[in-house]
Chains A and B, each alone.
Chain A
Amino acid sequence: MTDPRDTVLTHALQAEGTFDPGRAPAGIKRIPSGVDGLATEHLVVNIGPQHPSTHGVLRLVAELDGEEVMNVEVAVGYLHRGIEKLGEHRRYHQLGTLMDRGDYVSGIHGELAAALAAEQLLEVEVPPRGQWLRSLMSEVNRIASHLVWFGTFGLDCGAMGQFLYAMREREALLDVLESVTGQRMMFNYVRPGGVLDDITPDAEQKLRTFLRTIDSYLDEHHALLGGNEIFQKRVRGVGVIDRETGLAFGLTGANLRGSGVPYDVRRDKPYAAYTELDFDVPLGATGDAWDRYLVRMEEMRQAARMCRQCIEGLPEGDVMAKVPRVLRPPAGETYACVESPRGELGVHLVADGSDTPYRFHYRAPSLFAMQVLEEILPGHLLADAIMLIGSVDIVLGEIDR
């Protein structure tokens, strides 16, 4: 005998069209097992924008069935500053200051992309020492950026200790960057034509000390977080991005390499001094969060390896080519890209012969990594969804611009 109250409730909900057992509501990709007979409603939860686990100001509109994520919509724009439009009113020298504030965790890469694009338009040749310093500082910044990811990814999984240790390691790198560029985050170091200044003896000594210890520290970090069984249970086999999905969404960087696609801008479209550096491109097998974790951990080791090569092989000479004080590239357009810690960071510049770009577009790798969340989150638990936001390593500064 059925409970009359159930019948009434089901009937009322069906009349409103919100519950229809056997047919998924619009946008719902999967009906969870065991709930068909119950008159349950899905709960729409706003995650963010002001929430530390969203890595900035990402807003997720998640449709939940209990603890399970049914559907996710990502909403962006909470950090919009109009960087692309501002770029149309900045001289080519000044674009770096905007790019620093795009991906603020790895400013050197943004500056480098803008500088490369301006150099392609101007047809300027950067002296070898400038090229090598660009590579060196890029790799220093890559380790610093990956350390931030490593720390916060652990936080998203519920671990705490490694965050502080990662920040301690990063501090040494920020000291190096501050000594060379003058700032800890907004460097404004890479310019069209080269770099601002040479490496300082103080920075070189600090970097050598860091590079002597980083491998053992990374082993320790990996043992602390990656060796933890709880962490492994959380990330292994979760959030699988297969090869086709990764390519279809335009993923780049460690997210794509985690899925086994060997694409690295440093190797495939070399810039700066990467043709002369020896490094491996780590690849994942299945594309789950664990693979992305391993790829990024290995990238830090490879970056440290490249830093050593850069310090040893730094050629003598100027760091800056002779460029005019005000750059006026001839009319034309170009695209330059670099491998930022988050993927292929590109700058598309359209010049009209004046001292400011006609159009300045910025390809932010995080934007694509964020969109894949809509694809991979449904079907996971809410706690895993938070972990997966961390696993694709997004920076909202470059998504919203």
Chain B
Amino acid sequence: MWGKGILTGMRITMRNMLRGPITVKYPYERLEIPERARWAVVPKYDGEGKPKCTACMACVRACPDHILDLEFTTREDKSKHIERYSYEIGACMMCGLCVEACPFDAIEMSHDYELARLDPAELTYDLLADVDAVPVKRARPAATPKAELARADSSPAELSREEASDE
């Protein structure tokens, strides 16, 4: 029958009308953001409130948009002082590659999504300014016990003899 489909459609529309809304009234009501949501980059701090950044520049190289810029000075004692860690949030696409590239877990993607600013100049800002970078601790192999060192010094023939006697 011609028109049956239209009536079915009206029934479906009515059924959907009774299902209730799924939207929320945004500024008054907010949806929960998942744990992995990626929004503005923020620096991380250690227990003493010092930034964990070591000015290694890994994030600057990892950024596809080239919006991170780190200016630092190296002092005589090789320690680094971060002059400016510039972040242009207006061009950031929140891909998270900088956070993944960071070997020191010094930055993270925050959940702050209300990022509109009145002045375009505010869209480029400093994540860290005038702070000392954490000195890079190079991973060294754990100190070898003296007995092991003595073993290493001994010749292979001696070692095999020792092993034989152990058994």
Contacts and interface: CB of A to CB of B under 8 A. Distances in A.
A161 B97 contact: no
A175 B31 CA distance: 11
B12 A220 contact: yes
A1 interface: no
A78 B4 CA distance: 43
Contacts of B34: 175, 178-179, 182, 200, 202-203
A166 B157 CA distance: 77
A96 B62 CA distance: 13
B16 A183 contact: no
A223 B4 CA distance: 11
A54 interface: no
A229 B12 CA distance: 15
Interface string A159-187: 00100010010010001001111110010
Given A161-B16, A179-B34, A181-B36, A229 B64 contact: no
B64 A200 contact: no
A256 to B, nearest CB: 28
A224 B9 contact: yes
Interface string B1-17: 01111101100110110
A223 B2 contact: no
A38 interface: no
Give the size category of A's interface with B: 20 to 34
A224 B37 contact: no
B52 interface: no
A interface, over-half SS: helix
Given A188-B96, A188-B97, A229-B2, A224 B109 contact: no
Contacts of A182: 34, 36-38, 96, 109
A103 B37 CA distance: 21
Contact of A183 (B6, B94, B97): B94
Contacts of B67: none
B95 to A, nearest CB: 4
Nearest to B5: A227
B8 A179 contact: no
A181 B5 CA distance: 40
A90 B94 CA distance: 16
A227 B62 CA distance: 51
Interface string B38-82: 100000000000000000000000101000000000000000000
A224 B13 contact: yes
A97 interface: yes
B130 interface: no
Nearest to A223: B8
B22 A171 contact: yes
B159 interface: no
A229 B1 CA distance: 10
B103 to A, nearest CB: 9
Contacts of A227: 5, 8-9
A183 B8 CA distance: 37
Nearest to B66: A89
Given A90-B64, A161-B13, A200 B6 contact: no
A175 B35 CA distance: 12
Contacts of B101: 325
A183 B37 CA distance: 6
A197 B9 CA distance: 42
Given A220-B12, A229-B2, A325-B101, A200 B38 contact: no
B96 A229 contact: no
A171 B97 CA distance: 26
Given A180-B36, A203-B34, A228-B9, 9 more contacts: A94-B97, A97-B64, A161-B16, A183-B37, A186-B95, A220-B15, A224-B13, A227-B5, A230-B6
Interface of A: 90, 93-94, 96-98, 161, 165, 168, 171, 175, 178-183, 186, 188, 197, 200, 202-203, 220, 223-225, 227-230, 232, 325
24 contacts: A90-B64, A97-B93, A161-B16, A168-B22, A179-B34, A181-B36, A182-B36, A182-B37, A182-B96, A186-B93, A186-B95, A200-B35, A223-B5, A223-B8, A223-B12, A224-B8, A224-B9, A224-B12, A224-B13, A227-B9, A228-B6, A229-B3, A229-B6, A230-B6
